[in-house]
Amino acid sequence: MDRLNLDQTGARRGELFRHSLQMGDDTVTIENIATMAIEDESFLPYRTEKNRQATGLWVGLGLISFLISMICFAIVAGGAGFVSITSLVAWVTLIACLASAWLAVQLAMAMRKVEVFHRLRIGASDGRQVDLVDDNRAVLEKIRDTIRTKIDTADFEIVGTFDLDTDTVKLSTDPPEPEPEEVAETDEVSSEDAPPPDEKPDPYAEEGPEFEPEDEIVLGEEEDRELEEKLATLLKGES
């Protein structure tokens, strides 16, 4: 039995980017979305051309089987007897007639079966319209609310994917790009990191022998007397 699937009436999978929405072969920018609405619709999933042809085939086979079985039963009633090949053919064709009629009725009832689905219509400002179709309204509402939030709050960090065949919507937020650290470049060097200054000797400092207390000269009385005489002699000569 052939069936019309929902993916034949609209997009089924898509991806939500920072600034655009990809649905099948259609791409709509977030800023270009003008309208969004969820509509409840219905369709006949089994009303296809193949099912119509199969119904007609089973109905025709049932009618042919019914006519053959009736002819065979008439022959049997005319004196052929119930234990004969004609009787066997009559019963087989009657069973085939009932089976064909049952299959034809099942196909006819299936083609009249109505299923409800939901359609998210997304209209762009350039006149285009893209549809998302699913039998789960909650999934479509989540997609609609996410797009509405991105438009109202101008928050384009939310991205994700959705698959209506499995009724899954995966959303994530891109982490913000880290800002480069600014390092202040200065020519000044802290006192802690500065090298110790080189100590230069004072050029004006008088160099001389350093005397320790034990190097002092001690003169006796006789040496003092001789030294005084020499000084006195020198003073007389100068005068």
Average pLDDT, the chain: 76
- Amino acid code (one letter) for 125: S
Determine the pLDDT at residue 99: 93
Distance CA 48, CA 2 (A): 7
Match 């099942």 to its residue by tokens: 106
Q: Is the backbone of residue 24 left (phi > 0), alpha (psi -120 to 50) or beta?
A: left
Per-residue pLDDT reduced to its tens digit, 123-147:
888 888 888 888 888 888 888 888 8
Of 134 and 165, the structure prediction assigns the larger pLDDT to 134
Instruction: Give me the mean pLDDT over the 192-198 stretch.
Output: 54
Please name the residue ranges forming H helices in 154-238.
221-238
Q: Give percent helix, percent strand, percent coil of the chain, each to the nearest 5.
A: 45, 20, 35
Tokens read off for 103: 């299959």
Contacts of residue 190, defined as CB under 8 A and 6 or more positions apart, other chains included, come to none
166, 157 contact by CB (below 8 A): no
Distance CA 68, CA 180 (A): 90
Q: What angle do CA 166, 170, 175 make, to 5 degrees?
A: 165
Number of residues assigned to the chain:
239
Distance CA 80, CA 87 (A): 8
Instruction: Give me the mean pLDDT over the 74-82 stretch.
Output: 74
Reported pTM: 0.49
Instruction: Give me the mean pLDDT over the 23-41 stretch.
Output: 82
6-45+118-173 is a CATH 1.10.3470 domain: no
Contacts of residue 239, defined as CB under 8 A and 6 or more positions apart, other chains included, come to none
Residue 13 CB: number of other CB atoms within 10 A? 15
Half-sphere exposure of residue 147, counting CA atoms within 13 Å on the CB side?
30
49 pLDDT above the threshold of 60 = yes
How is the chain split into domains, by residue range?
6-45+118-173, 49-111
Q: Is the backbone of residue 39 left (phi > 0), alpha (psi -120 to 50) or beta?
A: beta
Contacts of residue 44, defined as CB under 8 A and 6 or more positions apart, other chains included, come to 4, 111, 112, 113, 114, 115
Cα first-last separation, the chain: 157
Q: Of 2-6, 38-42, 101-105, 156-160, which one has max mean pLDDT?
A: 101-105
Per-residue pLDDT reduced to its tens digit, 111-124:
998 888 888 888 88
